[in-house]
Amino acid sequence: MALTRIGNPQAQMLNQRMQMSFALCEYADIQEFERLATADRELTRSAELPYLADSFIFLSIAEGFHGQWEHAIELAEEGVRLEQEGSVLAGFHRGQLVRALAYGGQRERVLALIDGSPVNLPPAHGLGGNGP
């Protein structure tokens, strides 16, 4: 997909992501979700937007719907690799990697990822987050 010049690629990306959400959540159209996730990756790359990690996670989710857990893991790993340091979306990226690994039967990797997580996880039954 070539970048459609509308003057604001961020707005185009957000609009496309909303369409992706509707395709999945309202219409349960996995093929459309996957098509839009692929288009999202192409848009974020071509416009050099700092959200490419998210695109790989969306594609990982789509592969999971198809039961293709090895490919879902590869895509999620790329999403984690590309995430911006300090990003508030780090949990989203890493959460999908944990999910793909778990469904892919890689329990030891899941536990290692959780135990060695550089993300500050809240204590059990405690408050957490990056806010005050």
Nearest to 57 by CA among 104, 107, 40, 102: 40
Least-confidence region, from 25-34, 61-70, 119-128: 119-128
The residue ranges of every structural domain in the chain are: 10-115
Question: Among residues 87, 22, 23, which one has the least CA distance to residue 52?
Answer: 87
Q: 44: buried, middle or exposed (CB in 10 Å: 19+, 13-18, 0-12)?
A: buried
Q: Is the dihedral of CA 32, 61, 69, 79 positive or negative?
A: positive
Q: Give the pair of three-digit tokens for residue 3.
A: 């970048």
Domain 10-115 architecture = Alpha Horseshoe (1.25)
CA dist list (Å): 91 to 3, 69, 85: 29, 19, 12
pLDDT for residue 128 is more than 80: no
Average the pLDDT over 98-120 and give the result: 88
Tens of pLDDT, residue by residue over 52-102, are 999 999 999 999 999 999 999 999 999 999 988 777 777 889 899 999 999
**pTM attached to this predicted model:** 0.82
Q: Which of 101, 28, 32, 108 is nearest to 71 (CA)?
A: 101
